[in-house]
Amino acid sequence: MHFVKEGLAPYPLTPGHELAGVVTKVGRNVTKLRVGDAVAVGCMVDSCFGCRSCRAYEEQYCLNGAVWTYGGETKYGRAGPDGKRTRGGYSDAFVANQRFCFKLPPESAKTRDEEDASKTTDTKSSLAKYAPLLCAGVTTFDPLVRYGCLDGRKRVGVAGFGGLGMMATKLARAMRCDVVALSSSPNKEPAARRMGASEFWVTTDAEAMKEKAEAVKAQKHTHPKRDAAVYGWQHPDPPPAGSASDPDEASGDDRVSLDVILDTVSAPHDVAALVDLLAPDGTLVLLGLDARPFALAANALVFSRKVVRGSLIAGTKSTEACLEFCVEHGVFPDVRVIDAAKAADALKALDKKNDAAVRYVIDCETIPKRAKRSAAA
């Protein structure tokens, strides 16, 4: 949607960066996969492998430039001839380097040859639920882990309840965090609560949001971080177990402020208003691709040590960790499998705030095959 509307890639464009399918052929040097394995491919298909980011398996920050799954330019020889435009997953076949292919549980790899026709739909649904993890899943999982949510007891805000916001809510809840969903669409509240949000704040309600920000400034924080001298406990000995100042007992249920906010909104919005909702030492992570600049006063950060950061998808190691976590905890997106002919309708629905609260997944077997050229052509 962003690439189509914002012109972020040249036309013509073959989209698709959340792929799931079954391996049909492997190269002679492939060691981690074999024919018949279920695999997924995400937002990138190559990187230099040699810079410090790639050596740390943070290939999305490759200092020489990652090669994106579609709309990118090949340059390292592992995603097609150099200098060519990459084509994405809206296709009936795809070739990728094994480093960027992620093996899925065996039950996802059942094919028509192994199952009768009546189970084909179940097989597609199994693959479909994994596909969105390779973008929306990893994009929200990585910052949640990086900023301390995996251990639970954080109060996490999720701004925007689209594809990323839905996965962020489910993942944060599975990490035993208290989740607050922030959305401009009141219609999404039932879905947000069903997916794990304990609160739902409507960002277009200016008066209500102002009250939240004022409550954050006025409240006495019992912060879950082990920095009790800053957050209210001045005695040299540790606070008594079970007290309000005991970091192990500070669940956050009695406060408004948020420790981490994942901002998934790509449209223009008030970033400073989100910063106002953070607790001291809180982190606002920008995930949405809004290319427009925003204004933020220094004192909004300096006096409470708040941080505004950006984050981009996830590297290969973090992607593997995300898939393992989602399988272990049963965290998957709500998906709706559609035929390729309905892709345009799905894009229009997404452009209208996606109140259906689902991820649309295209069944690539429904993509029309190009007619074979005649012998005389």
353 DSSP β-pair partners: none
Q: Quote the CA–CA distance of 144 and 164 in Å, as a whole number.
A: 12
Whole-number pLDDT of residue 58: 98
Q: How confident is the model at residue 349 (pLDDT cuts 50, 70, 90)?
A: confident
Q: Quote the CA–CA distance of 182 and 163 in Å, as a whole number.
A: 14
Task: Report, as an integer, the average pLDDT of 196-201.
Answer: 98
The string of DSSP codes covering 42-101 is -SEEE--S-SHHHHTT-GGG-TT-PEETTT-B--SSSSSSTTPBP--SSSS-----GGGE
Minimum mean pLDDT range among 52-61, 86-95, 327-336, 363-372? 363-372
DSSP category for residue 309: E
Minimum mean pLDDT range among 10-19, 77-86, 106-115, 312-321? 106-115
Whole-number pLDDT of residue 357: 80
Which pair of tokens denotes residue 125? 């649904």
Which pair of tokens denotes residue 63? 């200092």
Whole-number pLDDT of residue 123: 62
Task: Report, as an integer, the average pLDDT of 90-115.
Answer: 80
Task: Report, as an integer, the average pLDDT of 112-132.
Answer: 66
More confident residue, 114 or 204: 204
Bridge pairing between strands 101-103 and 67-68: unpaired
Model confidence over 145-182: pLDDT tens digits? 999 999 999 999 999 999 999 999 999 999 999 999 99
Q: How many residues does the chain have?
A: 377
Amino acid type, 26 = V
Model confidence over 212-244: pLDDT tens digits? 999 999 875 545 444 444 444 445 555 554 444
Q: How confident is the model at residue 332 (pLDDT cuts 50, 70, 90)?
A: very high
DSSP category for residue 182: E
Q: Quote the CA–CA distance of 18 and 328 in Å, as a whole number.
A: 20
Amino acid type, 97 = N
Task: Report, as an integer, the average pLDDT of 63-82.
Answer: 95
**Residue tagged 């933020």 (tokens):** 296
Q: With beta carbons less than 8 A apart as the criterion, state whether 231 and 252 touch.
A: no
Which pair of tokens denotes residue 58? 């943070």
- Domain 2-135+316-366 superfamily per CATH: Medium-chain alcohol dehydrogenases, catalytic domain (3.90.180.10)
Cα–Cα nearest to 44, from 104, 86, 1, 93: 86
Instruction: Domain 141-219+255-310: give its CATH architecture.
Output: 3-Layer(aba) Sandwich (3.40)
Task: Report, as an integer, the average pLDDT of 99-123.
Answer: 66
Rg (CA), the chain: 23
Q: If you average pLDDT over every residue of the chain, what do you get?
A: 86
Q: With beta carbons less than 8 A apart as the criterion, state whether 249 and 240 touch.
A: no
* Consecutive H or E run containing 181: strand 178-183
Amino acid type, 297 = A
**Residue tagged 């909004």 (tokens):** 300
Domain definitions of the chain by residue range: 2-135+316-366, 141-219+255-310
3-state secondary structure of 260: strand
Model confidence over 277-310: pLDDT tens digits? 999 999 999 999 888 899 999 999 999 999 999 9
Whole-number pLDDT of residue 247: 39
User: Is the pLDDT score of 321 beyond 90?
Assistant: yes
Whole-number pLDDT of residue 245: 42
Question: Model-level pTM?
Answer: 0.85
Task: Report, as an integer, the average pLDDT of 363-371.
Answer: 82
Q: With beta carbons less than 8 A apart as the criterion, state whether 290 and 264 touch.
A: no
Model confidence over 5-45: pLDDT tens digits? 666 667 788 889 999 999 999 999 999 999 999 999 999 99
Whole-number pLDDT of residue 250: 41
User: Is the pLDDT score of 248 beyond 50?
Assistant: no
Whole-number pLDDT of residue 205: 96
CB neighbours (10 Å) of residue 185?
19
